[in-house]
Structure 1
Amino acid sequence: MKPQAMELVEGYRGGDLSPVEATRAALEAIEKYDEQVNAFVLVDAEGALAAAKESEARWHTGEPLGPGDGVPTSIKDALWTRGWPTLRGSTLIDETQPWDEDAPCVARLRETGAVILGKTTTPEYSWKGVTDSSRYGVTGNPWDASKTSGGSSGGSATAVGLGMGAWSVGTDGGGSVRIPAAFTGTVALKPTYGLIPLFPPSAFGTLSHAGPMTRTVRDNAALLDVISGFDARDWSALPTPARSFLDGLDDGVAGLRVAYSPNLGFVDNDPEVDALVRTAVEVLAEAGAEVTEVDPGFSDPVEAFNVLWFSGAAKVLQAYGDAVDDRVDPGLRRTAAAGAAYTASDYLDATAVRMELGLLMGWFHQRYDVLVTPTLPLTAFPVGQDVPDGWFSPEWTSWTPYTYAFNLTQQPALSVPCGLTSAGLPVGLQVVGPRHGDALVLRVGQAYQAITDWHLRTPTLEV
């Protein structure tokens, strides 16, 4: 197990570790594993080592720029990164245009002195729950490269899973940090909407969040500290948090009211997923949580989500006109065509469903502090396909029923690894909190990781 971000920072502070050593180790991991898993679209080894040397000098003088100074980090290729193209897995974007502005989270990472290694893979315009594109190919899983990493932040999850940097930042419009976290045995948070500002705004509107991706909950909280906070470029950005997300992280779950929903009332799970998640919930109960098995009481909101999501896909392709058919992922083209057929009334009806769901969950969290569910009902399936073999639907939302509801409601939702199946594939536990309850879901995840060691297991490709 490679050192995690907070271990690195403590090592830098004490002089036992160097940002240069950590960066070289991350670059060596990229060189060793990336040919098998295809997690990166761009790696700047020279620039990363130069940044690491500057960080090392700051630590030697006791003047680090911030709490992430020297931490090797990657960025999903959906977020603007100054000096590098942001191509979003698409052949439609002009690579030669000026790239002179950072997304808010990237700017915050530079300000803290993080070492940015490069950019990670995404499906075209982050439209689906697996990571492959005609521009960059397929991204494999750290536990089995023939299996998908999930998506759309699959490159970031695979990168942190294999030690190709301790931190990464992804985006999540319907599960896109949590899906790959569950499939790869890593940790990801979709925070309360607006906590991490976005610029430029997403075509998928207020469904889309940015989120920290790490190997541990503690690292996740530390990265959230760095990348959250007000940025005037995002009209919906929340105020900068008044305290660190590390504060109170170790307060445990004793007395917390935990609602456990094994299937939300409408999902069929793989039996091994069922068993591992139930065991994880028992761990929380043994740690003092007051666990009640109860469904939140909503029906599957997939149709409303699809109206909003498919409309966003239509908007993405609209800018390129009609002559893009042979240059676009066929699934994205199909989704965009469906989205273009929706009316304004359809969109408003879907928004009304969203508001009703938000109201229901607001009342639910008056009775329960958090809701826990599986992150996904299944484990990773083969790369290069949008759905499992023999699946009943071509839509990625058909196998992600636990994630997209909480993009509709904009609640924080955390995925932590909670076991391995008999085939050696990871399973995720999702912890959902009320809006603005980000510190609470991190606290529950940390309590679980303090007792278990699934987050410390070594991916198969490292063996």
Structure 2
Amino acid sequence: MRPSVQSPLLDADPLCRLHTAELTPLYRSGELSPVEVARAALARAEAINSPYNAFTYIDHEGATEQARAAEQRWRSGSPLSPIDGVPTTIKDIVWVKGWVIRFGSLTSKAQPQHEDAPAVERLRRAGAVFLGLTTTPEFGWKAVTDSPLSGITRNPWMPRVTAGGSSGGAAVAAATGAGVLHLATDGGGSARIPASFTATVGFKPSFARVPVFPVNAYGTLTHIGAIARNIADVDAMVSVMAGRDVRDWTQCAYVPTAPEHSQTALTGARVGYWSQPAAGKVDPEVAQIVERAVRRIERAGACVEPVQLPRDDVLDIFQHHWLCGAATRIDAIPEQDRSRVDHGLLEAACLGSHMTLGLVSAQMRRAEFGSAMDQLLREYDVLVSPAAAVAPFEAGHEVPPGSGMSRWFDWAGFSFPVNLSQQPAIVLPCGLTTDGRPVGIQLVGARGEDGRLLSVAGDVARLLNSP
């Protein structure tokens, strides 16, 4: 029998449960003020931070000031955007002007940043109300959230288990109602895995749709995306953050600010069912939950066919990129400070330091894999898969205890391949294990076709939320 599981939102102030599409009409009519909503969100952030450790910084004064400015704009009928006055969090790995960004590391400098990252700058211009910074593992290096600086971030569905990572704090904030929009990064699943583990929505847009600056050690694996409680909110947030910024050299000369929302319906859609991860095996209960969701998709009128990744060396390709990135990141830290770094990150960096000779080969194989994925997604409207091969496991561990796994990518074989190939991907809740741990389903679209992916995902979300 399934235990009684309480949603982390049940004890939240009703104002903390509202979505952007519900807030803005109330702001426009004057029935609700951004100041009221900001105060409720700030109180919620404080309340959930002690048990779950989602925030490294909460800015009461700044958020209230921003909310007052938004209130005046709505009263005068001149809001800056549809997200003007909407409570927003930023991951403690992305620059925010005037805030101390620590990257989850004892080795970082405790000094305010002198400028916003491009995504933050665009959110600020759109009138988003910045509540504070959310937790990350050190330099975002792994798919669970604990760090020498901030400690362990716990899952509000079941505090003994992890919230995932590396955007774990953002996912916890979303799940508990401590804000509406949550900036997340994703270099190997960092927005999608915590969304899966907390029954929220995590969206990684097509690579370079949202500019990334400054340059980081994980290079073109890194995407900036969003976590929220529904698809419309992650879409709204990414649409604001998207566009060309000359500080990001990896972007093309022209990047559309928003995708064309082609209404690709689930009925008749061509769906590739990707059931075998690039690493390890899928937990049988996770596989069963996702399989049920896929069969509902099929019964709703989609044409579902099994697919496999077009290469069998994807884990090796990713390890070369990720571990060499870790080595590069650690190389920038003075040797006398490295004793304060997460031991797992040091181990990863040590492995990476011996893999640099094979990096060019890995880059060539990555290009071949990416091309093959592009071709695969000309045959299908979307791919569907589990979001992760496992359900949330004991907090404070990189891999499930007793599993025999050694590194986080041993259980993240459905997420990191899509960072290599750079397609848009979204994770939605699709069920709970028998003991109440959330499980997510992932949908992957063709590069540049974020709108089509979101259209199908909307139908899938409605289907899975129906009786």
- Per-residue Cα deviation, 1:26-79 (whole angstroms, up to 9, x for no partner): 112112211000000000011111111111111111100112100100000110
How far apart are 1:302 and its partner, in Å? 1.1
Alignment of 1:287-366 (within 5 A): 287-344=300-357, 346-366=358-378
8 Å contact 2:104–2:149 — kept in the other structure?
yes
Specify which of 7, 13, 25 is matched with residue 40 of structure 2.
Answer: 25
Match of 2:113 in 1: 99
Distance 1:387 1:25, change over 3 A: same
Specify which of 401, 420, 424 is matched with residue 408 of structure 1.
Answer: 420
Specify which of 439, 455, 460 is matched with residue 443 of structure 1.
Answer: 455
Q: Does 1:262 find its partner at 2:275?
A: yes
How far apart are 1:270 and its partner, in Å? 1.9
Segments of 4+ in structure 1 off by > 3 A?
A: 242-245, 264-267
8 Å contact 1:264–1:297 — kept in the other structure?
no
8 Å contact 1:283–1:448 — kept in the other structure?
no
- Per-residue Cα deviation, 1:404-429 (whole angstroms, up to 9, x for no partner): 11111111111111111111111110
8 Å contact 1:169–1:213 — kept in the other structure?
yes
Match of 1:453 in 2: 465
Alignment of 1:70-85 (within 5 A): 70-85=85-100
**SS of corresponding position for 1:452:** helix
Q: Separation in 2 of the partners of 1:336 and 1:374? A: 29
8 Å contact 2:70–2:84 — kept in the other structure?
yes
Q: Separation in 1 of the partners of 2:68 and 2:192? A: 33
Q: Separation in 2 of the partners of 1:335 and 1:263? A: 25
Match of 1:211 in 2: 225
How far apart are 1:10 and its partner, in Å? 2.5
Match of 1:116 in 2: 130
Specify which of 57, 63, 66 is matched with residue 78 of structure 2.
Answer: 63
How far apart are 1:6 and its partner, in Å? 2.0
Q: What is the TM-score with the length of structure 1 in the denominator?
A: 0.94
Q: Separation in 2 of the partners of 1:167 and 1:293? A: 34
How far apart are 1:264 and its partner, in Å? 4.5
- How many residue pairs get aligned? The number is 451
- Per-residue Cα deviation, 1:394-448 (whole angstroms, up to 9, x for no partner): 2111111101111111111111111111111111101011111211221121111
Q: Separation in 2 of the partners of 1:87 and 1:47? A: 19
Q: What is the TM-score with the length of structure 2 in the denominator?
A: 0.93
Q: Separation in 2 of the partners of 1:443 and 1:426? A: 23
1:89 partner amino acid: G
2:281 partner amino acid: D
Q: Separation in 1 of the partners of 2:79 and 2:255? A: 21
Match of 1:459 in 2: none
**SS of corresponding position for 1:259:** strand
8 Å contact 2:324–2:356 — kept in the other structure?
no
Match of 1:461 in 2: none
Identify the range of structure 1 (389-398 vs 177-186) with the bigger mean alpha-carbon deviation: 389-398
Q: Separation in 1 of the partners of 2:90 and 2:84? A: 16
Q: Which runs of 5+ in 2 are unaligned?
A: 1-8, 10-16
Specify which of 161, 173, 187 is matched with residue 187 of structure 2.
Answer: 173
Q: CA RMSD in A?
A: 1.7
Distance 1:425 1:395, change over 3 A: same
Q: Separation in 1 of the partners of 2:298 and 2:349? A: 45
